[in-house]
Structure 1
Amino acid sequence: MLGATLAGGGRLTRAECLAALRAAGLDTDGQRGYHLLWYASHRGITCIAPHVGTEQTFVLLDEWAPGQHSPERDEALAMLAHRYVRGHGPVTRHELARWSGLTVTDATRAVTLAGDLLAPVEVDGEPAVVDAALLDAPRAPVDDVHTLPGFDEYLLGFKVRSLMLDPAHAAAVVPGNNGMFRSTVVRGGRVAGTWTRTIGARAVNVTVHQLVPFDAALRTRVDAALTGYARFLGLGLRHSW
């Protein structure tokens, strides 16, 4: 029904979609409307388009992204393995299984099917894989600085986080080990601190907690990253160390 309503380049807000469902005789009370919209997107009928103001909008997937390719299972497994490893590697097949919801058997098969796109490596004595293209990339020291949000994929994408986070600092990033991650300062791929923020009317107030000592140069770079965040919010920046 939503497909017919949106056909021909139509675009509706969430409220308009719910109104269309009700006009077709469907009950949208409670959570029914939300689940009907989810189901339409899950089945590949609709997809989310850019907001109109603060309102979410929906369009037809086939019109918004025509010419889609629907891979067979083995092709899909290989594609998933390659894309995950390219974004997260080096990783083990167990990390792929955990992240994707695949069984370890299917994750192992996925890595095998990816073939030469992935290359075997060893990390802390455990076999892992990386994107093979990285082996030919220029090797230069990594010293970038990022101020990441609490639920960033950089940490959440893994069960074993020792490459990015010193185990001694784990409790500072996930207090109580309850799944609630603090925002992090990452330098050269390693978590160097955490940060918290309170958004006010005119400024965002940020407090940085150092997990390793920050020299003057690192403070300047963290300042620059947080200034960019404040600019994104359209606010001034106040912070303390």
Structure 2
Amino acid sequence: MLLDGLELARRRTGAVGLGSVQPAPFADAAEVVGWFGGLQSQDYHPAKWAIAQRLGPGVTDADLDRAFDDGAILRTHVLRPTWHFVTPADLCWLLELTAPRVHALNGYAYRQGELDGPLLRRTTDLIAHAVAGGNHLTRTEIAALLAHHGITAKGFRLGYILIHAELERVICSGPLRGKQHTYALIEERVPQAASMEREAALAEIVRRFFTSHGPATAKDLSWWSSLTRDDIATGLSLAGDALESTDVDGVTYWSAPGNAPAPPPSPSVRLLQAYDEYIVGYRQSKHLLDLGGLVAAAPDKLALPNGVIVVDTQVAGRWKRTVRADAVVLEAALFRPFDAAETAALQGAADELGAFLGARAVVSATLL
């Protein structure tokens, strides 16, 4: 099959759960997160919005807080040195597979924080004992606990102490306490966590990535998972008929076999958070989001922090939100003029965000 860049991008939007017509392809938050294996949640609140966009109308911010509190989705450091949402079923085998690579990537930070092996093992043991029995603790409480034992744990240093304990499969997210996040023992939060033999895990992560992100390249997967190219090659050989490949301009793209989902009517406007998998899940083939070069031509000083405006498959602007008592105000900075249909679709996307947050949406758009 001969594909061009736009067709690759169209197939990709379907794979990441953004390109199909209603009904939504996923039943609940756990299905969304499980589809990807790990969904980047560096910023908790926008990451919930990424899940909601794949669940269709009616899902609220509070609904996803409940799913998180109930442990249907968890949050921890895995795949890369950042937070991801994962499901209880995937938590341990993903950590077993990728934690050694993430530890290696964290090596410089451990050294900068004077966090050697014995100290990290001690802090992990102290934290595990403290949160046992459902005694979920916040970062501030864990810092105080470590200080009580003569261990300085603030800011950057505390962060890497906690990351180490997560990667060692000791702690993960607990339920929210008001607006504060807590930590819980993995063995209590996921009492029957599944392991997987290494080769089976490699086959599964390769299949999961290319099914949920494809068409994508082996270099994209290497970025996303922190795995070596040799590990990915092994996974591809083990995945067999679960994946198919196509070459475009000398680059091999992998995806699940079969036809892409039917796209929604054009124009389809999405307000994606900055770390949405459609944006951040790629390295080598990220250019497929911007085939017209609009991002490269945009003034960097106006790169708004909350997210990216995508029209059909292509980046067309940036946006940020401000939540007020009576409305959520969406500031849209457009990389090109929008026609009437695109402007209406932008307002529709803002209304979806407003419904998710339980507020009226007001759009303020400017052309860069």
TM-score by length of 1: 0.80
Secondary structure in 2 matching 1:90: coil
Selected match of 1:3 from 111, 128, 148 = 128
Cα distance in structure 2, aligned partners of 1:113 and 1:180 = 42
Does the CA contact (< 8 Å) of 1:198 and 1:204 recur in 2? yes
Selected match of 2:346 from 209, 217, 222 = 222
Change (3 A) 1:68 1:174: farther
Cα distance in structure 2, aligned partners of 1:8 and 1:48 = 15
1:110 — aligned with what? 235
Q: Does 1:184 align with 2:314?
A: no
1:82 — aligned with what? 207
Does the CA contact (< 8 Å) of 1:118 and 1:130 recur in 2? yes
CA displacement 1:59-108 (0-9 Å, x = unmatched): 11011112222223222211211121122100111221232222323222
Q: Please provide the CA RMSD for this pair.
A: 3.0
2:263 — aligned with what? 141
CA displacement 1:104-163 (0-9 Å, x = unmatched): 23222222222222122334453221023xx166x5234443111233331222222233
Alignment of 1:188-203 (within 5 A): 188-198=312-322, 202-203=326-327
Does the CA contact (< 8 Å) of 2:304 and 2:320 recur in 1? no
Q: Which amino acid aligns with 1:112?
A: S
Secondary structure in 2 matching 1:78: helix
CA displacement 1:175-223 (0-9 Å, x = unmatched): 38xx987732223222233334455565444333444553333322211
Does the CA contact (< 8 Å) of 2:146 and 2:153 recur in 1? no
Does the CA contact (< 8 Å) of 1:149 and 1:183 recur in 2? yes
Alignment of 1:17-32 (within 5 A): 17-23=142-148, 25-31=149-155, 32=157
Secondary structure in 1 matching 2:209: helix
Does the CA contact (< 8 Å) of 1:173 and 1:182 recur in 2? no
Secondary structure in 1 matching 2:154: coil
Cα distance in structure 2, aligned partners of 1:181 and 1:100 = 24
Cα distance in structure 2, aligned partners of 1:228 and 1:197 = 13
Secondary structure in 1 matching 2:350: helix
Cα offset, 1:29, TM superposition: 4.0
| Structure whose alpha-carbon radius of gyration is higher | 1
Q: How many residues align?
A: 235
Change (3 A) 1:114 1:180: farther
Cα distance in structure 1, aligned partners of 2:145 and 2:362 = 47
Does the CA contact (< 8 Å) of 2:131 and 2:185 recur in 1? yes
2:174 — aligned with what? 49
Secondary structure in 2 matching 1:39: helix
Q: Which amino acid aligns with 2:314?
A: R
Does the CA contact (< 8 Å) of 1:120 and 1:127 recur in 2? yes
Does the CA contact (< 8 Å) of 1:142 and 1:189 recur in 2? no
Percent identical among aligned pairs is 33
Cα distance in structure 2, aligned partners of 1:228 and 1:20 = 42
Selected match of 2:288 from 163, 177, 190 = 163
Secondary structure in 1 matching 2:287: coil
Change (3 A) 1:141 1:39: closer
Q: Comparing both chains, which one has the higher relative contact order based on Cα–Cα distances under 8 Å and sequence gaps of 6 or more?
A: 2
| Structure ranking higher in helix proportion | 2
Secondary structure in 1 matching 2:143: helix
Cα distance in structure 2, aligned partners of 1:67 and 1:89 = 31
Cα distance in structure 1, aligned partners of 2:293 and 2:159 = 42
Query: Which deviates further from its counterpart, 76-85 or 161-170?
Result: 161-170
Structure 1: tracts of 5 or more residues without a match: none
Cα distance in structure 1, aligned partners of 2:150 and 2:216 = 46
Cα distance in structure 1, aligned partners of 2:270 and 2:226 = 29
2:89 — aligned with what? none
Structure 2: tracts of 5 or more residues without a match: 1-125
Cα distance in structure 1, aligned partners of 2:205 and 2:290 = 26
TM-score by length of 2: 0.55
Change (3 A) 1:15 1:184: closer
2:141 — aligned with what? 16
Cα distance in structure 2, aligned partners of 1:79 and 1:15 = 37
Does the CA contact (< 8 Å) of 1:93 and 1:111 recur in 2? no
Does the CA contact (< 8 Å) of 1:22 and 1:28 recur in 2? yes
Does the CA contact (< 8 Å) of 1:193 and 1:211 recur in 2? yes
